[in-house]
Amino acid sequence: MDCNSVGLVKPQTFTFGTRDDPLILESGHSLGPVDIVYETYGVPNEDRSNAILILHALSGNHHAAGYHDPRDREPGWWDGMIGPGKAFDTSHYWVICSNIIGGCKGSTGPLSIDPGSGEPYRLQFPVVTIGDMVNAQKRLIDHLGITRLHSMAGGSMGGFQVLEWLLRYPEMVRSAICIASAARLSAQAIAFNSVGRTAIIRDPEWKEGRYTGKGPEQGLAIARMVGHITYLSELLLDTKFGRRLQSADQFSYNFTSEFAIESYLNYKGSTFTQRFDANSYLFITKAMDYFDISRSYGPLKHAFARVLARCLFVSYSSDWLFPTSQTKEMVSALLSNGKPVSFIEIDSPYGHDAFLVEEDKLARILSGFLKGMDVEVAA
């Protein structure tokens, strides 16, 4: 176990949303009771002003750092960033990460029991938005006694949530870090999500969402394969795999997976089905498709006028899913409003996945930003 690890951590569950006070969704539906599973790392100071909220991406969850069991082979998904002496220094900050609603890792989602029927929601679960996810997180933050977050950070879909927080609850956020994200998904990104959902829905084992057991494994695996392609750069694929055959020196002249890249994607798809729910994949990708700052808040220049936080935006040179041009669009809108914002593009061959792969580069940038915020707050 890493000597700078937060060590063993235990998930907690916050339940809210009584019949008299449900979570009202943007669709007009209500949801309750609602469970939010979360973890915390570090210790809150007296007035809880050292709290930092971490927001996860599509396939992430609340387990961002540390271990649930000493025998765990892998730590939380951002363990290299969270811990004593790391970017999110838990000897100084109180770090919180929660699982989104609609997910499949404990927070209320399609796998949860519908109190009205006593059966899992499945497709009776209402479609949720990024705004709904943030509203649920706000309930958790209030429950934890936090009146203003020192900072928050998220990449990809986590960046969507950061942006939604900045616009929906501007007075709650002192600083924010938005990584490899955008003000909306491009038509191309929506297209890839649509192909993934179609693969799930057309799998005979999906059964209109009423599957039990393993369910539509083939469809979910294909959805992940398609999605994973978008996370990688052309340069990385050529360098790592090229046209290399997996286990032969000549073509097989059949339709087996013989190229190394095919075997890699098959592996990624197969392992994903062991840890994720197909219906949750449908709901979460739909929420990503719906996210659009301009549609919800008006043109970016107008929308970002309400931001009160100091912001840091990070993009990656080879990320074609959320290209730097989309980040610059947001930075320009903030600058046009005179808002304090920093921006950096990191040169990387790893594509969209870089924020999870090249932690050392990102850690140095985020540490500098947060130390600057500490100085600003102390002054």
| Residue carrying structure tokens 């009205």 | 116
The pLDDT of residue 12 is: 98
Q: How far apart are CA 196 and CA 241, in angstroms?
A: 23
The pLDDT of residue 1 is: 61
CA angle 122, 124, 126 (to 5 degrees): 110
Residues of the chain with pLDDT under 50: none
Q: Which helix (DSSP H) or strand (DSSP E) does residue 164 occupy?
A: helix 157-168
The pLDDT of residue 2 is: 67
The pLDDT of residue 273 is: 96
Give all domains of the chain, ordered by start, each with its CATH number: 12-185+292-378 (3.40.50.1820), 190-284 (1.10.1740.110)
Q: Which residues of 163-195 are buried (b: 16+ CB within 10 A; e: fewer)?
A: bbbbbbbeebbbbbbbbbbbbbbeeebbebbee
DSSP category for residue 98: E
Q: What are the catalytic residues?
A: 156, 319, 352
- Convert the pLDDT of each residue in 291-300 to its tens digit: 999 999 999 9
Cβ pair 164, 135 in contact under 8 A: no
Q: Which of 77, 73, 74 is nearest to 61 (CA)?
A: 77
The pLDDT of residue 276 is: 97
Q: Find all residues with CB under 8 Å of 16, minimum gap 6, and list them.
A: 23, 32, 33, 34, 36, 139, 143
The pLDDT of residue 62 is: 98
- Round to the nearest angstrom and report the end-to-end CA distance of the chain: 38
